[in-house]
């Protein structure tokens, strides 16, 4: 490997997908040893793997980190940037899959699939009129965080005949969908879905105060970051009927720790997999490998966690 760039996997990465993208001049190591880390110039990192200053110290030749996804909660971006190492992210790969996950949950909860399945299974056909089934057509989708995923949710909402309102704590959405006040958005939404990044300002964005303002009978979905949502307040809103259903794909911490909310019959849970469909995973591996290949070839990567990295490189 002396005449090749060494790129390591931190976490399970599909070698058959990334090797052709990395190219012939790269040796890809799926299960690196300390010796491999010592010579690695690139790393493709799965979402659940920590990349901190201690790990970076084991990798003195590192030139690029590619994170499969967009969240960098477990990556010390500041430490990497201090060494001039870009942290590549793959924002486009899973956006459509996550948006589809939002609608999977919204439909499951709106159409009451769980209680209706139990009714048929248990021979309760005569009681079917006791379970009210809702509609997305004509309802309002409230989107908190109007980035790539939020915008895709809005596109799908339009296809379902829904009205869209959007609030973003950092970048105002277009005027035709913008709702500047988060509380007003909650009051107007039949389905409220969270896609804001997790920061100190957005932690427990959906707390007891916001949930007290949600439209009675609305559905709350979180496929963004677990820390956006206060689970105690969410359970209370379900128990009072303020919320009629909750869908969660993300948790804080992960793996999820048990919470009584999980036992509520109007809750659907998935283990942070909505952005990890077969197609989305292939795309995110390709994008991560392409980002590594770009940096090793001296080209600016398409998307990085540190927004000033490419600018600094261009002006260096």
Give the model's pLDDT for residue 314: 43
Given a cut of 70, is residue 315 above it in pLDDT? Answer: no
Question: Residue 1 corresponds to which tokens in the numbers above?
Answer: 């490997």
* Domain identity same for 17 and 101: no
How many other CB atoms sit within 10 Å of the CB of residue 253? 8
- Whether 195 is catalytic is no
Give the model's pLDDT for residue 306: 82
3-state secondary structure 98-161: HHHHHHHHHHHHHCCHHHHHHHHHCCCHHHHHHCCCCCCCCCEEEEECCCHHHHHHHHHHHHCC
Overall number of domains in the chain: 2
Write down the catalytic residue from 49, 148, 203, 254: 254
pLDDT in tens, 25-46: 999 999 999 999 999 999 999 9
* Domain identity same for 231 and 144: yes
Q: How many residues does the chain have?
A: 316
* Domain identity same for 74 and 190: no
* Domain identity same for 136 and 187: yes
Q: Which of 106, 110, 103, 107 is nearest to 131 (CA)?
A: 110
The answer to whether the beta carbons of residues 105 and 224 sit under 8 Å apart is: no
* Domain identity same for 252 and 286: no
* Domain identity same for 99 and 228: yes
In the three-class reduction of DSSP (H, G, I as helix; E, B as strand; rest coil), residue 225 is classed as coil
pLDDT in tens, 236-290: 999 999 999 999 999 999 999 999 999 999 999 999 999 999 999 999 999 999 9
Write down the catalytic residue from 67, 167, 272, 309: 272
* Domain identity same for 195 and 169: yes
Given a cut of 60, is residue 106 above it in pLDDT? Answer: yes
Cis peptide before 253 (omega within 30 of 0): yes
Averaged pLDDT score across all residues of the chain: 94
Write down the catalytic residue from 225, 242, 290, 309: 225
- Whether 239 is catalytic is no
Once rounded to an integer, what is the mean pLDDT over residues 188-205? 96
* Domain identity same for 133 and 99: yes
Q: Which domain holds residue 286?
A: 5-92+278-315
* Domain identity same for 102 and 177: yes
* Domain identity same for 133 and 73: no
- Whether 225 is catalytic is yes
Give the CATH number, domain containing residue 287.
Answer: 3.40.50.720
* Domain identity same for 285 and 263: no
pLDDT in tens, 42-99: 999 998 899 999 999 999 999 999 999 888 888 999 999 999 999 999 988 999 999 9
* Domain identity same for 260 and 183: yes
Once rounded to an integer, what is the mean pLDDT over residues 167-194? 97
């Amino acid at each position: 490997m002396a005449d090749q760039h060494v790129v390591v996997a931190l976490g399970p990465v599909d070698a058959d997908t990334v090797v052709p993208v990395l190219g012939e001049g790269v040796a890809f190591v799926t299960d690196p040893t300390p010796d491999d880390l010592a010579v690695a110039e690139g790393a493709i990192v799965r979402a659940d793997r920590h990349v901190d200053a201690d790990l970076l110290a084991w990798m003195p030749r590192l030139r690029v980190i590619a994170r499969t996804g967009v969240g960098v909660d477990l990556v010390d971006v500041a430490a990497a940037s201090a060494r001039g190492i870009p942290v590549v992210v793959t924002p486009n790969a899973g956006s459509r899959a996550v948006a589809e996950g939002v609608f999977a949950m919204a439909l499951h909860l709106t159409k009451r699939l769980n209680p209706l399945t139990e009714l048929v299974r248990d021979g309760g056909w005569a009681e079917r009129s006791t379970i009210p089934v809702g509609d997305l057509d004509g309802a309002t989708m409230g989107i908190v965080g109007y980035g790539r995923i939020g915008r895709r949710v809005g596109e799908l909402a339009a296809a379902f005949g829904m009205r869209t309102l959007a609030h973003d704590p950092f970048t105002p959405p277009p005027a035709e969908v913008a709702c500047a006040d988060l509380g007003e958005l909650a009051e107007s939404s039949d389905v409220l879905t969270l896609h804001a990044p997790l920061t100190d300002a957005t932690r427990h964005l959906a707390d007891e105060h916001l949930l007290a303002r949600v439209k009675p009978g609305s559905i709350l979905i979180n496929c963004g970051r677990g820390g956006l949502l206060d689970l105690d307040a969410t359970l209370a809103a379900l128990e009072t009927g303020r919320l009629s259903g909750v869908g969660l794909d993300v948790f804080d911490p992960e793996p999820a720790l048990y919470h009584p909310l999980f036992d509520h019959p109007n809750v659907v849970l998935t283990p942070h997999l909505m952005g990890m469909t077969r197609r989305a995973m292939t795309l995110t591996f390709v994008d991560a490998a392409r980002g590594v290949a770009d940096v090793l070839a001296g080209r600016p990567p398409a998307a990085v966690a540190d927004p000033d990295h490419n600018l600094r490189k261009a002006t260096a």
